[in-house]
Structures are given as structure tokens and as C-alpha cells.
Amino acid sequence: MKTTKLIQRIQKLLNRSPEETKLKKLRKTIKQLRNKQRDLEKKLKHSHGKYQRRRLQQKIDLLYLQRGKGLEVYRRIKAERQ
């Protein structure tokens, strides 16, 4: 799945109220973000161009931040439901 689509999906899930958020969907999206981040990190190791490395690093940073936000919301919702 493309990076932009993953980011749009996590933002949509984060904007929902905690009652409407489905934990399985949120967890699955967070996992996909983590996998995408790892793939980009592998590409970064093998890339040589300065511009290409900078773009990959920006995408990795963005995925890292979005995943962090998603994990925070996931943990908060899970704690509230227990």
C-alpha cells in the first residue's frame, strides 16, 4: 500500500471518537505503517543519491510520527475500554 494511503487511513482513524474507533483496524494500520517504514529503511541503506536519501528519510520520519500518534491513541482507547 502506498505511503499516502496509509497516512490518510491512520489520520481518519485518529480523527474518530474513541467509541467509534475499531481497535483491530487501528492495530492493523499501525502494523502496516511499521512494515512500510522498515521497507523504506532498507531502501535508504541501498540508495546513493543525496536527494533520494533525503526524500526517503523524510518519509521514514513522517511514518514514525504517525505511527507514534496511532500507538498513543490505541493504548489510550484500550485502557479506557478495560
- Return the pLDDT at 82: 80
pTM of the model: 0.82
- Return the pLDDT at 10: 84
Residue found under cell 497516512 = 7
Residue found under cell 467509541 = 19
Please give the chain's pLDDT, 82 residues, in tens. 788 888 888 888 888 877 777 888 899 999 999 999 999 999 999 999 999 999 999 999 999 999 999 999 999 988 988 8
- Return the pLDDT at 32: 94
CA 11 to chain centre: 9
Give 9-13's long-range contacts (Cβ < 8 A, gap of 24+): 10/66, 10/67, 10/69, 10/70, 11/66, 13/70, 13/73
- Return the pLDDT at 37: 96
